[in-house]
Amino acid sequence: MTVWLLPVFGYVNLGLIALHVGSVFIDALSKHRSYFNPSDISQRWTVYDGDDWALLMFAGLGFAWLINFSVDKQKQPPYSCDH
C-alpha cells in the first residue's frame, strides 16, 4: 500500500523533513535566558532533559523511516500497485 499517488510527493516529504530538522536545530542553538537568574544566558540544548532527548531520538527514527519510504517510492513508476 502506498501513501502517495504520485512518487513526486516523496520530494515534498523530504523537503519538509529537512525544514523541520533545520528549525529544531536552529532553535536548539538559540539563546535562552534563565528564569531564576535573568543575567544567566545559555543555549537551549544545554537545558534539555532526558524526555527531550528521547523525543528527538524517536522523531529521528520516524524521520529515518519516512525518508527510506520516500526514497523507495521514487523508484516505482506512478500509480503502480505494490501488493
pLDDT tens digits for range 15-53: 999 999 999 999 999 998 888 888 889 999 888 999 999
Distance, CA of 17 to CA of 22 (rounded, Å): 8
Phi-psi region of 36 (alpha: psi -120 to 50; beta: other; left: phi over 0): alpha
Note whether residue 17 is domain-resident. yes
pLDDT in tens, 46-64: 889 999 999 999 999 999 9
pLDDT for residue 1 is more than 60: no
Residue 79 lies in a domain: no
**Which residue did the predictor score with more confidence, 80 or 13?**
13
Encode pLDDT of 63-78 as tens digits.
Answer: 999 888 887 766 666 5
Examine residue 83 and state whether it is found in any structural domain, yes or no: no
Query: Distance between CA atoms of 73 and 71, rounded to whole angstroms?
Result: 5
Question: Is 77 in a helix, a strand, or coil?
Answer: coil
In a domain, 36, yes or no: yes
pTM over 0.75: no
- Is 2 part of any domain? no
